[in-house]
Structure 1
Amino acid sequence: MMFKKKIKLLLPLLFCIAIANAQTNIYKFKRQISGVNTIWHSISLPDELYKNANAGFEDLRIFGVSGKDTVEVPYLLKQRADQINTKEVSFKQINQSTNENGFYYTFQAPAGSTINQINLSFKQTNFDWQVTLAGSNDNKEWFGILKNYRILSIQNTDTDYKFTKLKFPDAKYQYFRIAIKCNVHPHLIAAKLNKTDTVGGVYKQANSLNYHLSNDAVQKQTVIEVNLKNPVPLSYLKLKAQSDFDFYRSFKIEAATDSFKSEKGMQYNYTGIYDGTISSLEETAFSFPNTITSKLRITIQNNDNKPLRISNLELKGNAYEIIARFEDLKANYAIYYGNEKSTAPSYEIEKFEKKIPTNLTTVSVGNEEKNPAYTIKTEKPLFENKIWLWVLMTIIIVLLGWFSFKMLKN
C-alpha cells in the first residue's frame, strides 16, 4: 500500500518533468536567472554566451517552471547602438564673390536655426583646398567657426576619395560664410546645412585581444590579423595610424565566419563588414554593423606608398540586452540556447514596445551549464560504424568467393 501511495505522489512530479523536458530538450545549454521580483526586467547577455549561441540569437529562449506548468517568457532583444538623427536645415544662398584671397559663399538660414555640419559638392573631381567658415547674425560682424579647414577630392584609377564635409560645434547664426582659398573657380554645385544629434549607445570593450601585422610587398598591402579569446560583438574599430606625410588609403575589415584544417594549418573563411578609406584628414575610427566574431582581418592597400605605422588598435561592440516579461514571480527561470536549427521566436510584445516601462532592474544570469534535458544526439553516418563495415566486407568477400567458384566450375 505504501509503495502504491509513493507511486501516486511521484507520477505528477514525473509528468511535470516530462512536460518541461519536452520544451527544453532541444537546447544544449542553459543559464539560471535569479532576482526576478517584478513583471518586467532587463537581462545583460554575458560575453561567454556568444560562443555557443547562434549568431542571430534564433535559438535564445527563456523558460520558467512552476509546479506543473512550464511557461515561455516573451522578450525583446535590444542592441544598444548609437542613435544618429540628422535634420536638414533649409537655407538660401544670398551672395557669391571673389577677391585675391579666394572665393566666398554666403548662406542665410532661418532665424533660430542651429547647425553643426555643411556638406559641399563641387564640379571638380581633384582638388586640395583650405576653407574658412564664419557666422553672423547681421551679415556685418563675423565670428570665426573654422579656420584653415582642409577639404580634398582625389579621383584616379587607384583612388576615389572625397572629404568635403565641414564639421563643427553647434552654431546658431542667421548667416554663414564659406571662404575657399584656391586659384581656380571652385564651381560649387550644392550645399547642405545639417544639424546632427547623436545619442551614444552602450559599448563593451573587447579585452584579451592580440594582433599580428605584416606588410606584403608583392600585393602592396598591410594586413592586420586580430584574435580574441572568445567571440564577442564588435562594431567599432579605432586605429592609431601614423605617417611622416598626409595619407589616404583604401582599406577593408573582414570577420572570420568559420575555419578548416589544411596542409598549411588552420585556415579561415572571411566575410566583409566594412570598406572605406583611412586618412590623415579624418579620425581613424570606424563603425560597422554589430558582428559577433573572435577573429578580424584588416587590409590596408598601400599601392606604391610606404606602409603606415600602426602602433595600437581599439575594438568594442554594442552590448545586447533582453527586455523580458515574467508573469509568474514564483517560477524558476533559465535562459536556454544551443540549437543550430532553431528559428527566431515571434512575440506579441514587440508590437507594444511603447507600453514597456523604461526604468527596468537587471536580473542576474548564472554560469553556463549543460542542459540535462537535452536529448537530441547527432547520429554518425552508417559507414562510420565498425560493425556495419565488417558486415559489408563479409558480404563482399562471400559474393566475390561465390562468383569466383562459379567461374572456376564453368
Structure 2
Amino acid sequence: MKYNKLFVIVIILLGNTPVFAQDSFSYRRKVNGVQQKAWHTITLPPDIFIHCDRDLKDLRLYSIAGNDTTIVPYLLKKRSTEIKEQEAELTAINKSKKGDVLYMTFELPKDLKVNFISLAFQETNYFAFATIEGSNNKKEWFMLRENQRIFSLDNAVDSYEYSKVNFPITDYRYLRVSVRSDKQVTFERAVFRHQQITEGKYTPVPSRWSITDSKKTKQTVIDISLQHYQPLGNLRIKTDNSNNYYRYCEIAVLIDSVKTEKGWVKNYGTVHEGYLTSYTPNEFSLDGEQTSHLRLIINNLDNEPLKITGIDVDGPAVELVAELEPGDTYLFYGNRALSAPYYELRHFEEKIPTASATATLGEEQSIAAPQTKISALFENKFWLWGIMIVVIGLLGFFTLRMMKGAGNQ
C-alpha cells in the first residue's frame, strides 16, 4: 500500500510541473478581413522582415479563443518568377551562306516544343542579328523572331557573350536560323530550350540613390538606400548614353555595420556580377536577397562615366496561405531560435483552391515578455531539479527494497 501512496505523490508532483514551454515571440500582428471559414492569402508587409528570421522560420499563426490556443498551419509562398527548362542540343541538317548571311536548318524531334535558342560560334568580337523562322515542309516559312541582336565581346580585361534568342513557343518540324554578322562567323552548336515561365508577383521598392565617380579607381559607385529591410527581386538601371557601351559591374548588399574609432564601417557582400551594355536591357535578378542597402560598382576603365538616369528596385510578394475562420487569429514572429515548422499541409497543396480570399495584417504589436502559466513554486528551475532528484532517489530506494524483499521470499 505504501508503494501505491508513493506513486500517487510522484504523479501529483509531476502534474504540477510544466511539460511544455510556450515559444516566446517578440512581435505579433492581428489577422483581419476573415469573414467566413475559407482559404485565405496573407501578404507580408515590407516592414515585417527586419524582425523575422532571415529564412522566415519563426512565423507562427495562432487562433486564440479564451484560454484555448490553436495552431493554424500555413504554406509559405515567395512569388518570384520561376523558370523550368527542357533542353535539346540539335545538329544542323543544312548549312549555307548567301552574302553576309549564314543559314542553318534544324529538325525538331516529334512533340518537342521550343521557345528559346542559344547559339555558339568559334569566333569572338562579332555583332550580328539573328532571325528565326518555322516550317513543316521546308517550303513555306513563317517568321518567329526577326533581327534579334546577338554579339560577343572579348578583350584583355573582360569577355562577354550574348547569343540567346527567344521566340513564341512553337512545334514546327523545322526551324531555320539566319545570322547576319559584321564579320564571318563559323557555326559551332545550337541548344534549343522549352522554357516554362511562371511570372512572379513584384511590387516597387521605394529607394533613394546617390552616385560617386572616382577618377582614381576609374569606377562609378551607386549607393541605393531602401525604405525597408526586405527581400528583393530585380534591379533595373536606366542610362542616357548616345554611344555604345559595355561595362563590367558588381552588385553588393549590406551585410552589417561595425562601429570603429573612426565611425561606422559598412560591410558588403557581392551577390551578382555582370555587364551594363547598350545592347540589352540592364536588368539584374537579386534572387530574393534581403537587405536595406545596395551598392552598384561600375568599372569605367578609361571611359567616361555613364549617365545614370534612373534606378528601379522591386521585391517579390511573400505570402502565407492558410485556412482561416472568423475569430482572433494572430501572426507571431521574432524568435530566431525556432526551427521551421513542418505541417502536413505541404503534402496536400494541390487540393488547396488556386483562388482564395484575402486577409490582411494589422499593426505590429511588441510583446514585452513571454507569458507562461507556471505555478510560482516551480518558476525557479532549481526547485524543479531538486524535486526531480528526490523523486528519482525515492523511486530507486523503494525499488531496491522491493527487490530485496522478493529475494528473501
Q: Please, what TM-score do these two structures have when normalized by structure 1?
A: 0.78
Does the residue aligned with 2:216 lie in a helix, a strand or coil?
Answer: coil
**Gapped runs of 5+ residues in structure 2?**
1-17, 373-409
Equivalent residue pairs, number = 354
Kindly provide the amino acid, as one letter, of the partner of residue 238 in structure 1: R
1:113-192 alignment, distance < 5 Å: 114-171=113-170, 173-182=172-181, 186-192=185-191
SS in 2 for 1:363: strand
Aligned match of 1:195: 194
CA RMSD of aligned residues (A): 2.8
Q: Match for residue 332 of structure 1?
A: 328
C-alpha contact (below 8 Å) 2:37/2:326 kept by paired residues: no
Pairing 1:223-302 to 2, within 5 Å after superposition: 223-302=221-300
Letter in 1 for 2:256: D
Q: 1:297 to 1:41 in 2, by over 3 A?
A: same
Shift of 1:184: 6.1
Which aligned pairs between 1:4-403 and structure 2 lie closer than 5 A?
23-24=22-23, 26-36=24-34, 37-38=36-37, 40-88=39-87, 93-110=92-109, 114-171=113-170, 173-182=172-181, 186-207=185-206, 209-326=207-324, 329=325, 332-374=328-370
Give the superposition deviation at 1:220.
Answer: 1.5
Q: Distance in 2 between matches of 1:53 and 1:198?
A: 30
Which amino acid counterpart does residue 115 of structure 2 have in structure 1? N
Q: Distance in 2 between matches of 1:101 and 1:294?
A: 50
Q: Distance in 2 between matches of 1:147 and 1:46?
A: 43
Contact preservation (8 Å) 1:112, 1:173 = no
**Secondary structure in structure 2 of the residue aligned to 1:289:** coil
2-structure distance, mates of 1:101, 1:130: 11
Deviation at 1:320, TM superposition (A): 0.4
Q: Which whole-Å CA distance do the structure 1 matches of 2:204 and 2:238 have between them?
A: 16
357-366 or 302-311, larger mean C-alpha shift: 357-366
Change beyond 3 A, Cα 1:219–1:41: same
Closer, same or farther in 2 for the Cα pair 1:337/1:214, shift >3 Å? same
2:7: which partner in 1? none
Secondary structure at 2:137 match in 1: coil
1:356 offset after TM fit, Å?
2.5
Quick check: 1:84–1:198 contact (8 Å CA) kept in 2? yes
C-alpha distance in structure 2 between counterparts of 1:342 and 1:330, whole Å: 28
Over 3 Å counting, the alpha-carbon distance change for 1:244 and 1:368 in structure 2 is: same
| Aligned-pair CA distance for 1:322 | 0.6
Residue identity opposite 1:121 in structure 2 = A
Deviations 1:218-274 (A, max 9, x none): 221111101122212211111102322222222121111222333554332112222
Deviation at 1:366, TM superposition (A): 1.0
- Uncovered stretches (5+) of structure 1, i.e. residues with no partner: 1-18, 377-410
Partner SS for 2:357: coil
The alpha-carbon deviation at position 43 of structure 1 amounts to 1.3
Distance 1:353 1:113, change over 3 A: closer
Aligned 8 A contact 1:90 1:109 in 2:
no
